[in-house]
Amino acid sequence: MSDIDDYFSVESLINIADELASHGHYRAAVMEAMTALEERVNDVVFLSLERRRGLPTNLVKWLKDKTKYNFDEKLQPIGEFALGRPISKGETLWNNYKKARNLRNKVSHTAQWIGETDARFVIQTVREWLHFLESAKYVHKSDRVSDQTMKFLSMYAILVSRFNLSKGSKPIPISIAVRNAQKRGCLSAEAAQVMLTAVDYRNKITHGQDVPSDQLRTVIRELKELLSRLKGFEIDASPTFENEQD
């Protein structure tokens, strides 16, 4: 599956939440975004379990029923078993999920006011997780550097979720989005190169190709530094005037 397919399937899932937030319906936006995440987790986790050899159909159905009202268990440990990879607690992706989950619970169970900042945070977190799940489900079970691979994919998901394409823009691969952002002056040449390397590694991993562990460690370090600088920043990846003339 290509990065372009991933990006727009994710955007379509949370489009309604974005629209609700744009019109000031922040509580509804939080609920819609988290519902999109739960639906995708159900698809990815339980489809993976159903495809596992040796797992009785009744067991999969029992696990699905057991976790119907416990979303955390769908991510850990059942999600880890289904994907064949650990989902690391203590990292940004997991910590953001916990905060988004708590905001959703407040919306569901209390009359506490939710503002735009909180709603946008939940939407952004869901976007990150959806990108992560899209990549994780394609990782081959034979991968020998599972912890490192999943750490890379979680950071890649956060990176891709930072891109903002104006509404109505034609679908474009993330690699082109990076170049657009660089032409707009939103990214330095160095930052763009780190991102393009990450896109290349992600595509190799999801197609079962090997990425040497030392190269993966290097890009993880570079992504960590880059994401720290980009915290809270949306990258304008819409086409430049020159691109539109091509």
Which tokens sit at 65?
């029923």
185: Cβ contacts below 8 Å, ≥ 6 apart: none
Strand, helix or coil at 128? Answer: helix
Strand, helix or coil at 236? Answer: strand
- In the predicted model, what is the mean pLDDT of residues 51-61? 67
Give the model confidence (pLDDT) of 125-175 as tens digits.
988 888 887 776 666 554 444 577 878 888 888 888 888 766 555 667 888
Q: Which of 185, 201, 17 is nearest to 114 (CA)?
A: 17
40-45 LR contacts (CB < 8 Å, sep 24+): 40/13, 40/129, 40/130, 40/133, 41/71, 41/74, 41/75, 41/79, 41/133, 42/74, 44/82, 44/83, 44/133, 44/136, 44/137, 45/74, 45/78, 45/79, 45/82, 45/83
- In the predicted model, what is the mean pLDDT of residues 13-26? 89
pLDDT above 70 covers a percentage of the chain that reads: 70
Give the model confidence (pLDDT) of 64-93 as tens digits.
776 666 666 666 555 665 565 556 655 787
- In the predicted model, what is the mean pLDDT of residues 14-29? 91
Which tokens sit at 81?
């078993």
The pLDDT of residue 38 is: 81
The pLDDT of residue 166 is: 60
Q: Is the pLDDT of residue 190 over 70?
A: yes
**44 secondary structure, DSSP code:** I
